[in-house]
Structures are given as C-alpha cells and as structure tokens.
Amino acid sequence: MLISTASLNALRVGIKNYWDQGFASVTESEQWHLLLADQTDSNDASEIYRVQDTLFRMREWLGPRTIENLVEKSYTLPNKEFEKSFGLKVTDVEDDKFGNMAAGIRNLARAGRLWPNDMVYLAIAAGNATVCHDGQFYFDTDHPCDDGTTQANLLTTTALTAANYVSTRVALMKRKGNDGKPLNLRGTHLIVPPDLEVTAKRIVEAELAGYLQLATSVATDSNVLKGTAEILVIPELSANSTTSWYLADLSKPIKPFIMQFRVRPETPTIMNRPTDEGVFEQGLIKVGTRARGNGGYGMWQLITKCTA
C-alpha cells in the first residue's frame, strides 16, 4: 500500500472498526463499577455533590407536610484528564500489515471501556485517607451522627472469617442514618481481592458449615450463611491489599461510590497525514484516546471495609 492521504484515511476507518470491536468485547460483568458507583455526567471542571446521609422512610401524615432537606453537607469532585496512545509504523501500512496492529487497537478500546473501573478502584484504595462529605475519611472509625454518637465503616484486625463476616453483617444491618433511624441495609455483596475468593466462597456458597470454625457448627451442619451475599471479586484490589475485604449494600438507588464522566473515552484521534510530524520525522502514525472524569464518594453508610 502506497502511503497517501487516501490510504491513511482508509487506515483511520480500519482503526475505528477495530476500536468498536474492542469496546464491544468488554462484558458487563467485567465493568464492576456499574455495581458500586452511581454514573453521573459532568459539564464543568468539577461537580458539587450534596450527598444524602440517610434513606427516606414514609411517615404518617398528620398536620402539615414535614419538608426535609436532602442533605446538609456537600462534596466537590474535580475532573481529571487521562490518555493512552501508541504508534503504528508507516512501513507496516506500506506492507499491508495493518491487520497485525488490530490487537493493539482492540486493547486500547478495552482500556477505555474499563477506565471507569480504574477510577472507582482509586477511590476505594484512597478511602482510608480521603475526606468525604462529612469531613471524615471515607473509611473511618468515627463518622459523626447528629445525636453526638459515631459510627464506623472501617474495622481493623478483622480477617475474613465466618465469625467476622457475621459480626460485620450484623453491624451493617444495624447502621443508622444521621436522623437516627435505621437504614434497613443488607450485606448484598461480599467484595474481595482474588486472594480471598476461595475463603469467601466457603463462607457464603458452601453447602456445609463444618469448616467455618463457628463455635456451634459441626461437619454435617448446613451452612446457614449460604446465599446471604453475592461475591464480587475485584482483581485490582490485590494491588492495594490482599487481605482487606468489604461488605456492601448495592441494592439501593444510591451507591457507595460515584463515577463522574466529563468526557467519556473517545474514538482514537489519529495523526495520519503525510505532513504530520510523527509520520514525517519518525515514520510513526500516532493513535490515542483520552477521557476526563473521576471516581469519588457517595454514602459511606452503604459499605464497610475490613482489614486483617
């Protein structure tokens, strides 16, 4: 193939097709951020969230309506810019070997599709040291309540065992909003790194409970914890800790995290004109995508982090 404007335009069309194929190849189950984070669109450099600190419950209508503010505290989430780029050799295009580059384009598309996972993971990993809407670290031992008491969504020296799972689940179910009313939470998802997947399966998927090391269980007992939570394995978590685990209620209309999109991952920009610097000086056709956004924090009450 001779390098010309027409041939490079054809190359651009081919890249777009491979991008679409790679983007479509990412399954919904791989996009775990959809479970953990509210998906929001941004139209500015940052967004202010008025995060709710309770879940509504109906009240008997006696006298005038009681109008409650949605929230008293706000949280600002700035947008950040991200990119991924690589170069295709002009000689490969000349020799009609662009097909060999297809895997690279599909891989770039997968990176763009899974970028929200990266953003939410970074928020999870930084949760012990990042302030959320109530002025405390997102994962903390003393979130303040209006009545002067505190609540914890960070439990230390709490390895993943059946007994610790039970106590964490009970604490989550008893958690209250700032108004002092129970939030009616359930531990719908046990979230673990790959290192704890087998342990998690033994706790909430096994038929028998004998090896759970509960004081009252014997080898032939049915596992009463079976089905109490779904397991969500997040490979990225191992980079931060191989022993920390999380219990969350992901059934509510509000999620524990936020995925904020300013610019969603774009179809690649291609510097493919014969006069472009990369083509002329380096013999490279530069291909790259970009995105803007950030991962942040919603209701801390919906999730508990446990560290071993």
> Is residue 172 within 8 Å of 164, Cβ to Cβ?
no
- Please, what is the end-to-end C-alpha distance for the chain in angstroms? 60
Query: CA–CA separation, 160 vs 150, rounded Å?
Result: 24
Query: CA–CA separation, 229 vs 225, rounded Å?
Result: 8
Indicate whether 16 belongs to any domain. no
Is the Cα dihedral 295, 296, 301, 303 positive or negative? positive
Extract the tokens encoding 234: 């997040």
Radius of gyration of the chain (CA): 25
Of the spans 50-59, 62-71, 242-251, which averages the highest pLDDT? Answer: 242-251
Query: CA–CA separation, 82 vs 104, rounded Å?
Result: 18
pLDDT at residue 209, as a whole number? 72
Indicate whether 216 belongs to any domain. yes
Indicate whether 105 belongs to any domain. no
Indicate whether 224 belongs to any domain. yes
Query: CA–CA separation, 7 vs 12, rounded Å?
Result: 9
What is the pTM assigned to this prediction? Answer: 0.86
> Is residue 199 within 8 Å of 214, Cβ to Cβ?
no
Q: Can you give the residue range of the structural domain that contains 123?
A: 34-50+71-93+119-306
Mean pLDDT over the full length of the chain: 87
Three-state SS string across the chain, please? Answer: CCCCHHHHHHHHHHHHHHHHHHHHCCCCCCCCHHHHEEEEECCCCEEEECCCCCCCCCCCCCCCCCCCCCCCCCEEEECEEEEEEEEEEHHHHHCCCHHHHHHHHHHHHHHHHHHHHHHHHHHHHCCCCCECCCCCECCCCCEECCCCCEECCEECCCCCCHHHHHHHHHHHHCCECCCCCECCCCCCEEEECHHHHHHHHHHHCCCECHHHCCCCCCCCCECCCCCCCEEEECHHHHHCCCCCEEEECCCCCCCCEEEEEEECCCCCEEECCCCCHHHHHHCEEEEEEEEEEEEEECCHHHEEEECC
Indicate whether 77 belongs to any domain. yes
Query: CA–CA separation, 113 vs 26, rounded Å?
Result: 7
pLDDT at residue 1, as a whole number? 46
pLDDT at residue 217, as a whole number? 56
pLDDT tens by residue, 245-304: 999 999 999 999 999 999 999 877 776 667 777 667 677 778 889 999 999 999 999 999
- Looking at the structure of the chain, the number of domains it has is 1
Extract the tokens encoding 161: 């065992």
Indicate whether 236 belongs to any domain. yes
pLDDT at residue 99, as a whole number? 66
Indicate whether 167 belongs to any domain. yes
> Is residue 196 within 8 Å of 241, Cβ to Cβ?
no
pLDDT tens by residue, 200-237: 999 999 998 765 655 555 567 889 999 999 999 999 99
Question: Is residue 242 scored above 90 in pLDDT?
Answer: yes
pLDDT at residue 2, as a whole number? 47
> Is residue 267 within 8 Å of 17, Cβ to Cβ?
no
Cα distances (angstroms) measured from residue 142 to each of 75, 138, 290: 18, 10, 39
Question: Is residue 12 scored above 90 in pLDDT?
Answer: no
pLDDT tens by residue, 162-179: 999 999 999 999 999 887
Indicate whether 20 belongs to any domain. no
Per-residue burial over 266-284, b if 16 or more Cβ lie within 10 Å, else e, is eebebbbeeebebbeeebb
Question: Is residue 95 scored above 70 in pLDDT?
Answer: no
pLDDT at residue 97, as a whole number? 66
